[in-house]
A and B are shown apart, each in its own frame.
Chain A
């Protein structure tokens, strides 16, 4: 299995609070992604990174920011959590040599 760890695995937070999810990889892969999974919507890309400090927005980036200061870590921040951000969040990694996305275990976030 690819070395990808998401933390926390579960979190309950209150509306209006900031939340940071962490993705850590040990594979030295260039690309890292944050997706959210919601029933009826599949996986939708929030942000992705193509290198240290190189990030770009995905299709559902509003209300989210990311940072990648090291190859191995990709942080997703909900600046002010809302109930619509209740979801399962997946981190994924990829590399030019491996045409495949490897996924973390997912984080279930509930905003109350």
Chain B
């Protein structure tokens, strides 16, 4: 069975600072994808960043980057220069080759002005 664990239910960060959200996962698969999704108060689920397991290079998308440690099954999200609009729930997710998705319990991030 696949599991995704987010051990930080809530976090806060000062505007313009950097914050890192943690995620670990457990799988016996060798090929898979990992994701971070953002859910603002509007409830819409928005893809933030995606990482393919066979790529060693960490994915980056503007102010968002990941630290992917395959052997440790760790996939953390770093948000640089935090903005008020980053306030949201963040979900770590895992996708098997069969296109089944598994989600963590989420981290609620608050950016403080």
Binding site for B on A (CB under 8 A): 30-31, 33, 35, 40-45, 48, 50, 88, 90, 92, 94-96, 99-101, 103, 105-106
Contacts and interface: CB of A to CB of B under 8 A. Distances in A.
28 contacts: A30-B99, A31-B99, A35-B103, A41-B105, A42-B6, A42-B104, A42-B105, A42-B106, A43-B91, A45-B100, A45-B102, A48-B100, A50-B99, A88-B43, A92-B101, A94-B95, A94-B99, A94-B101, A95-B99, A96-B99, A100-B35, A100-B47, A100-B50, A101-B35, A101-B45, A101-B101, A105-B43, A106-B44
A30 B105 CA distance: 26
Q: Is the interface of A mostly helix, strand, loop or mixed?
A: strand
Contacts of A88: 43
B64 interface: no
Interface in B69-113: 91, 93, 95, 98-106
A106 B41 CA distance: 12
B52 interface: yes
A44 to B, nearest CB: 8
Given A31-B99, A33-B101, A100-B35, 7 more contacts: A40-B9, A40-B105, A43-B91, A50-B99, A94-B99, A101-B45, A101-B47
